[in-house]
């Protein structure tokens, strides 16, 4: 008989005691001197991270995060059955090249900045079902690799509007396995791709807000939960322009989100730091979740949280061809032992 | 208790009766007039497939394949719990935009041309474990979108060496569910990323051969099977340069592959068609598997097959920066009712 793990339209219910065995966040200099600097495992004081190119630096940062997480779990790479990872670069090269280094069976995933929770929910699914004993999920982004690829050559010094966001330089990784003392991963809601016609690549927050709101509302409907069932519901990188839009869309659906509704993109940099409307990139939600929120759960400050990573699935070609920006959001629910069903 | 679905290092064993409910392959004009033309569900006689751009044409072809597969299964898109898809374009735009059209909860995956079996093995895992009742896996490639992105502007008319390959214009999709009469998906072996130092992007076959050989040998070790347990073992797109290398590497490991060892990249075009060393692209293995091999199993001509999709995980940036080409291969085992364990 097949075990029933689906709840409603697109929410997975993990039946076994799947937990984060460990997690790690590694960041660049700007993130290290931001609001959460003390929460990260490693801060590179140089955007090159000692490498020759920004692309290699991003890879080093991801490898640092993955290796640190595996080490913190007391495991060796040989014990990890699957590595699920993605990044923002063309052909996912950061993740793919890092998989050559780790030599763990590799599955590349892509959901732009939502990849943080996409990789984690798939890793959790594989562990929950017993396909692998341990899996590691990881993502990265780098401000300079993203700028030159998505926007303009960095030397060009292009100006940006206030609705733009600052891509986080960093990486986050989490090791998933059964049992232990870490936060339990109980549910995941897979997003649908939404496109409300926003075409401005300098306003990703507005483009992504409807996808975030849709995934959150779907999660509530599928699980029968409501906003107050969570201590914290964080979006990935809607930032100060997109986050109020998501709040309003959810209010229109009947959900009063209140103070518990926050955004990772608004938690990383201090007000003094140049950031436009806030942080973005796969590493925005990953570094906040793996570096900060998991520690807050360990400290007993948070008991049940929902991380809703948001992704803008455009490419430079698609927007140059006049296409709108399709977006998606994937949500993962974490729970500490004091508040398990 | 967790069900044990892992066999050895990186092979998944599907415990339930997970089967292809249906599959579909849609191709462009050149593929339609090739050796397997009669096997495909739909042939577009125009590389634009009635669209304004090649990117939109590729999307149309993928949507055609996904919708045809769902229709052939007698299902509606609302009954499909997950859509796993990927392609070769930057930021996976073909897959992402097609997910906006289908409105099925979407998970983007990326493994270059290995994405065909990566998406299928993850879809099968989710169905086997009961996270969703039905899932659809799909991939696409388009000769003109791939040329302009990976190599030169198509107007440039760049010359190529004989070791180059011809990217297939096409898409394949398969709907996975429990029960029915279709081919059963019994095992999948997830590949490790291999890099043997090949840096020539016009010789992907040689670069990918070691990854294919490694995944096949791992599959044999993990499952205790041998080459003669399969009627057919096909690689994805090693073509005439890479395939003999994989055969030799496997012989060095003690596996005599014999006549049953073939390559999808050598099955699509006739000798008269310009193809260099053979076909490549996500659609190479996808169209051969979903269009031809599944029909051969239905006809009783094949009983147990292993499809080993191969992927070169480079990007134009990585090779311009002098990096070698990391490669991966993912294998999926199919079995007809007459030969089930």
The per-residue pLDDT for range A83-99, each reduced to its tens digit, is 999 999 999 999 999 99
Q: Which sequence spans correspond to the domains of chain B?
A: 16-178, 184-335
CB contact under 8 A, B86 and A110: yes
> CA-nearest residue of chain B to A18?
B2
What is the separation of C-alpha B282 from the centre of its chain, rounded to a whole number of angstroms?
5
Q: Are A25 and A170 in contact (CB under 8 A)?
A: yes
Q: Report the pLDDT value the prediction gives residue A337, as an integer from 0 to 100.
A: 82
Please tell me the distance from the alpha carbon of residue B65 to that of residue B138, in angstroms, as a whole number: 8
Closest CA to B81 of B146, B219, B189, B177: B177
pLDDT number for residue B196: 83
CA distance A85 to A239: 24
Contact A6 B193 (CB under 8 A): no
Given an 8 Å threshold on Cβ–Cβ distance, is B2 in contact with A128?
yes
Query: CA–CA separation, A79 vs A300, rounded Å?
Result: 30
β-pair type (A261-263, A232-235): parallel
pLDDT of residue A59: 98
B86 interaction partners in chain A (CB closer than 8 Å): 110
Interchain pair A315, B91: CB under 8 A: yes
The minimum CA-CA distance between A36 and chain B, rounded to whole Å, is: 29
Residue B97 confidence (pLDDT)? 96
Query: What's the whole-number mean pLDDT along residues A1-26?
Result: 86
- Extract the tokens encoding A241: 């322009």
Burial (CB < 10 A; 0-12, 13-18, 19+), residue A37, is middle
Q: How confident is the model at residue B6 (pLDDT cuts 50, 70, 90)?
A: confident
**pLDDT tens digits for range A257-273:** 999 999 999 999 999 99
Contact call for B321 and A109, based on CB within 8 A: no
Averaged pLDDT for residues B325-331? 97
Q: Which helix (H) or strand (E) holds B21?
A: strand B18-27
Specify the CATH architecture of the domain B16-178.
Answer: 3-Layer(aba) Sandwich (3.40)
Confidence of residue B203 (pLDDT cuts 50, 70, 90): confident
Treating both helix axes as pointing N-terminal to C-terminal, what angle do B239-252 and B204-223 enclose, rounded to 10 degrees?
A: 40
pLDDT in tens, B128-139: 999 999 999 999
| A-chain residues near B131 (CB < 8 A) | 5-6, 12, 125, 129
pLDDT digits (tens, 9 = 90+) for A222-253: 999 999 999 999 999 999 999 999 999 999 99
How many whole angstroms separate alpha carbon A139 and alpha carbon A115?
7
Going by pLDDT thresholds of 50, 70 and 90, the confidence category of residue A3 is low
DSSP per-residue codes, B166-194:
EEP-EEEEEEEEESSSS-EEEEEEPPPPB
- The H-assigned helical ranges of chain B are 29-32, 54-72, 93-102, 115-128, 143-150, 204-223, 239-252, 282-286, 294-298, 316-320
- Between B81, B112, B193, which is nearest A100 by CB? B193
Query: Hey, are the CB atoms on A315 and B89 less than 8 Å from each other?
Result: yes
**Minimum Cα–Cα distance from A52: chain B residue:** B321
Average pLDDT for residues B253-277, to the nearest whole number?
Answer: 95
Q: Output b/e per residue, A76-99; b: 16+ Cβ within 10 A.
A: eeeebbbbbbbbbbbbbbbbbbbb
The residue among B12, B107, B116, B179 with the most chain A CBs within 10 A of its CB, best to mutate, is B107
Chain B residue with the nearest C-alpha to that of A190: B105
Is residue B150 very low, low, confident or very high in pLDDT (cuts 50, 70, 90)? confident
Q: Assess whether the region A16-178 and the region A184-335 belong to the same CATH fold.
A: yes
Residue B106: left (phi > 0), alpha (psi -120 to 50), or beta?
beta
3-state secondary structure of B297: helix
Which of the four pLDDT bands, split at 50, 70 and 90, describes residue B202? confident
Neighboring chain A residues of B56 at a CB cutoff of 8 Å: 321
CB A325 within 8 A of CB A195: yes
**What CATH number does domain B184-335 carry, 1.25.40.80, 3.40.47.40, 3.40.50.720, 1.10.357.10?**
3.40.47.40
Question: Taking CB atoms and an 8 Å cutoff, what residues of chain A touch B133?
Answer: 6
- How many Å apart are CA A265 and CA A165, to the nearest integer? 9
Distance of CA B334 to the CA centre of its chain: 14
Q: Tell me, what's the ipTM?
A: 0.96
Per-residue pLDDT tens digits for A94-116: 999 999 999 999 999 999 999 99
Predicted local distance difference test score (pLDDT) of residue B80: 97
- DSSP state letter for A10: T
> Nearest-5° angle of CA B52, CA B54, CA B59?
95
- Residue B169 in tokens: 């214009």
The residue count for chain A: 341
Say if CB A25 and CB A188 are below 8 A apart. Answer: no
CB–CB of B93 and A194 under 8 A?
A: no
Q: Which chain B residues have a beta carbon less than 8 Å from that of A120?
A: none
Inter-chain CB proximity A313 and B86 less than 8 Å: no
How many residue pairs from chains A and B have C-beta atoms closer than 8 A?
Answer: 193
Closest Cβ opposite residue B315 in set A3, A93, A313: A93
Cα-flanking dihedrals φ and ψ of residue B125, to 5°?
-60, -45
Residue A340 in this model has a pLDDT that exceeds 60 = no
Q: How far is B208 from chain A (nearest CA, A)?
A: 13
CA distance B272 to B7: 44
Long-range contacts of B144-149 (CB under 8 A, 24+ apart): B144/B47, B144/B54, B144/B169, B145/B54, B145/B55, B145/B58, B145/B88, B145/B89, B145/B94, B146/B88, B146/B89, B146/B281, B148/B54, B149/A317, B149/B88, B149/B89, B149/B90, B149/B316
Question: Under an 8 A CB cutoff, do A90 and B316 touch?
Answer: yes
Q: How far is A37 from chain B (nearest CA, A)?
A: 30
User: Given this model, what pLDDT does residue B339 score?
Assistant: 52
| B35 has pLDDT over 50 | yes
Measure the CA–CA gap between B22 and B136, rounded to whole angstroms: 10
Mean pLDDT of B279-301: 97
Model confidence band, residue A339 (pLDDT cutoffs 50, 70, 90): low
Chain-wide mean pLDDT for chain B?
A: 94
- Per-residue confidence band for B162, with pLDDT thresholds at 50, 70 and 90: confident
Please give the pLDDT value at position A200. 85
The rounded mean pLDDT for chain A is 94
For residues B111 and A108, is the Cβ–Cβ distance under 8 A? yes
The tokens for A280 are 């973005």
């Amino acid at each position: 008989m097949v075990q029933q793990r689906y709840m409603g339209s697109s929410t997975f219910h993990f039946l076994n005691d799947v937990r984060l065995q460990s997690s790690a966040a590694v960041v660049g200099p700007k993130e290290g001197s931001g609001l959460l600097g003390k929460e990260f495992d490693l801060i590179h004081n140089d955007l090159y991270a000692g490498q020759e190119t920004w692309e290699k630096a991003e890879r080093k940062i991801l490898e640092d995060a993955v290796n640190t997480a595996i080490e913190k779990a007391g495991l060796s790479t040989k014990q990890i059955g699957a590595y699920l990872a993605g990044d923002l670069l063309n052909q996912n090269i950061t993740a793919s090249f890092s998989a050559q280094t780790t030599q763990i069976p590799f599955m590349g995933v892509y959901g732009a900045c939502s990849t943080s929770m996409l990789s984690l929910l798939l890793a959790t699914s594989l562990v929950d079902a017993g396909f692998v004993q341990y899996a590691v999920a990881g993502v990265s982004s780098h401000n300079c690799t993203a700028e030159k690829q998505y926007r303009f050559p960095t030397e060009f010094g292009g100006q940006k509007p206030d609705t733009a966001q600052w891509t986080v330089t960093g990486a986050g990784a989490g090791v998933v396995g059964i049992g232990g003392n870490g936060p339990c991963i109980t549910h995941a809601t897979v997003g649908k791709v939404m496109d409300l016609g926003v075409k401005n690549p300098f306003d990703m927050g507005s483009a992504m807000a409807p996808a975030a709101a849709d995934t959150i509302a779907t999660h509530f409907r599928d699980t029968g939960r409501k906003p107050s069932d969570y201590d914290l519901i964080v979006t990935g990188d809607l930032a100060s322009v997109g986050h109020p839009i998501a709040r309003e869309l959810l209010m229109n659906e009947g959900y009063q989100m209140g103070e518990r509704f926050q955004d990772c993109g608004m938690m990383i940099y201090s007000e003094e730091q140049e950031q436009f409307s806030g942080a973005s990139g796969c590493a925005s939600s990953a570094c906040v979740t793996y570096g900060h929120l998991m520690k807050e759960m360990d400290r007993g400050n948070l008991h049940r949280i929902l991380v809703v990573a948001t992704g803008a699935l455009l490419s430079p070609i698609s927007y140059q061809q006049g296409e709108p920006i399709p977006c998606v959001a994937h949500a993962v629910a974490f729970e500490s032992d004091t508040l398990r069903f």
